[in-house]
A and B are shown apart, each in its own frame.
With several copies, the nearest count.
Chain A
Amino acid sequence: MLHLVNKSPFESTGLESAVRYAHKGSPILLFEDGVYAAMAGTAYEDKIKEIMSDHEVYVLKEDLAARGIADRVVDGVKEIDYPGFVDLVEQHKTASWA
């Protein structure tokens, strides 16, 4: 199952919920304000790295660019665009942790 997270990890517990319920191996896609969770150098970086030990973490390029953090992505996070987002949804049932 693909888990969609669209809220900043500094403001909302959406990503924590997704991770609590996601089985090992289930991918997580960060978009909208959720992309801040994929930013290097933040207080959340250790947490996202821990999440990446159990899950592929994807981040939406369009939302990274809008926020000026396209060059600050934590190593190992996979950047995708909207067509890539569609492909992921094609491969997985999808839960939205708004």
Chain B
Amino acid sequence: MKFGILILEGPYQHESSDSAYHFTKAALEKGHEVLRVFFYQDGVINSTKLMEPQQDDRHIQRRWSELQEKYDLDYVVCVAAAKRRGINDDVIGPGFKIGGLGMLTEVAIEADRVVQFGA
């Protein structure tokens, strides 16, 4: 089945970005297709490579980037939401790209299911 994933909350502050990651990984491991992961609202902060969590904690951006590389996923960070929150091309980690909100509509059109995580 073709999934789309929408993430509305930032890393660490809420468990939503963890849940979205675990769900996406489980869907891929079951052989589903994930057409796009769309980062919106505070979700855009998941993409910053400037994050440096404590050594014994998960690194949320890096974990997303590794998943992207393994499955060649499409990660879109909403440009308008990103600009409001200080996220731009210079700070996003590997595998993320900044794009328009229309790319969320595209997922809604093409995916069999869009699952949203947040607040």
Contacts and interface: CB of A to CB of B under 8 A. Distances in A.
> Do A and B touch (CB < 8 Å)?
yes
Interface of A: 4, 6, 31-33, 62-63, 82-83, 85-87, 89-90, 93-94, 96, 98
The 10 closest A-B pairs by CB, nearest first: A82-B26, A98-B119, A32-B15, A96-B116, A86-B27, A86-B26, A82-B22, A83-B26, A90-B1, A94-B115
Nearest to A62: B22
Interface residues of B, number: 20
20 contacts: A32-B15, A32-B16, A33-B15, A62-B22, A63-B15, A82-B22, A82-B23, A83-B30, A85-B23, A86-B26, A86-B27, A86-B32, A87-B30, A89-B3, A89-B115, A90-B1, A90-B113, A94-B113, A96-B117, A98-B119
**Is the contact region of chain B dominated by helix, strand, or loop, or is it mixed?**
mixed
Interface of B: 1, 3, 8, 15-16, 19, 22-23, 25-27, 29-30, 32, 113, 115-119
A69 B67 CA distance: 30
Contacts of A93: 113
Q: Which residue of B8, B25, B117 has the most chain A CB atoms within 10 A of its CB atom?
A: B117
